Amino acid sequence: MTAAPPGIPEEELLAPGHRACAGCGCVLAMRYLLKALGRNIVVSMATGCMEVVTTPYPETSWRVPWIHSAFENAAATAAGIAAGLKALGKKGVKSVAIAGDGGTADIGLQALSGAVERGDNVLFCCYDNEAYQNTGIQRSGATPFGAWTTTTPIGRVKRGEDRPKKDVPAIIAAHGAPYVATASVAYPLDFINKLRRAAAIEGPTYVHVHAPCVPGWRIETSKTIEVARLAVLTGAWVLYEIERGQLRVTFKPPKRRPVADYLKLQGRFRHLTEEEIAQIQRMVDEQCRRFGIE
């Protein structure tokens, strides 16, 4: 893979000077999203990390129209914008909702479900850093099994998050959405292609991008891409798309690496015993079996 293949514009629609932490994976996802979709979009963004760091009032990093809604209703705001664009007869402008995993898996789920069920012409992008990171690393529905957060502490009784990660892409696919995809910031071309495919479809589409959080995952600032890539190479995060019900895995790791390689780079998994890592390995194996990954 070449890093900057033709078709990825050099124009930056996300301005520098934003207040994301050094090495932020999520703001990189925002940059890729703007490269993929260009200027003809209107963004509705839920409260969350990216809203906080890209719009420190009276400044904004966005060079496209952008609206901040509440935590729970990015999808509803975007549905209203889609209706408005239709009423005004504006063609070729896409309504895009963006929310973090909290604003998608937990707080924004009903608005997202409603928009998909009604068939609204909205592209919803979830950037998943696996906890409520900017408020102080509280667990969300998308926090993976075994992870430390400030609300899933490690002690004599509790061993971090005790529930598996909520499978939001599967929930949206179950609505019958015409396009659902997962992506990773370590595979920008794959992510950009999926966003473009999703935006081209008239109707509710969903792209879920896995993006490391430096302070929340307790990783080095330079390791963001390395960690995101290892999630894919170990099978802990699977890159796929479901187009009109047809599942296609878009990248199969050639020789799957042990999940410990992914876990051991992250402080949030530092407490795990060999037995607990073996348990997570079994969960990953089961997930890969379902997707036909060896």
Partner 1 sequence: MVEGDILKIIAGAVITEPGNTAQTETGSWRNFRPVIDEAKCTGCGMCWMFCPEPAISKGKPARVDYRYCKGCGICANECPFKAITMVPEGRD
Return residues touching partner 1 (CB under 8 A).
2-4, 8, 10, 12-25, 27-28, 31, 54-64, 68, 188, 214, 220-226
Distance of alpha carbon 187 from alpha carbon 231, whole angstroms: 11
Residue 10 CB, shortest distance to partner 1, in Å, is 6
Measured from the CB atom, the residue of 24 and 109 that comes closer to partner 1 is 24
Residue 6 CB, shortest distance to partner 1, in Å, is 11
Q: What DSSP assignment string belongs to 13-67?
A: SB-S---PPTT-HHHHHHHHHHHHH-SSEEEEE-SSHHHHHH--TT---BSS-EE
Q: Which residues contact 148 (CB under 8 A, 6 or more apart)?
A: 154, 160, 161, 218, 267, 268, 269, 270, 271
Residue 191 CB, shortest distance to partner 1, in Å, is 11
Residue 39 CB, shortest distance to partner 1, in Å, is 10
Residue 36 CB, shortest distance to partner 1, in Å, is 13
Distance of alpha carbon 229 from alpha carbon 248, whole angstroms: 19
Distance of alpha carbon 30 from alpha carbon 207, whole angstroms: 12
Measured from the CB atom, the residue of 16 and 254 that comes closer to partner 1 is 16
Distance of alpha carbon 260 from alpha carbon 29, whole angstroms: 25
Q: Is the Cβ–Cβ distance between 259 and 287 less than 8 Å?
A: no
Helix ranges (DSSP H) in 38-148: 49-54, 74-87, 101, 109-118
Measured from the CB atom, the residue of 173 and 185 that comes closer to partner 1 is 185
Q: Which residues pair with 208 in a beta bridge?
A: 126, 182
DSSP 268: G
Measured from the CB atom, the residue of 25 and 80 that comes closer to partner 1 is 25
Residue 231 CB, shortest distance to partner 1, in Å, is 16
Both tokens assigned to 156: 């004599």
C-alpha angle 158/26/189, rounded to 5°?
A: 120
Residue 4 CB, shortest distance to partner 1, in Å, is 3
DSSP 10: S
Measured from the CB atom, the residue of 226 and 243 that comes closer to partner 1 is 226
Measured from the CB atom, the residue of 23 and 141 that comes closer to partner 1 is 23
Measured from the CB atom, the residue of 64 and 277 that comes closer to partner 1 is 64
Residue 163 CB, shortest distance to partner 1, in Å, is 30
Measured from the CB atom, the residue of 31 and 165 that comes closer to partner 1 is 31
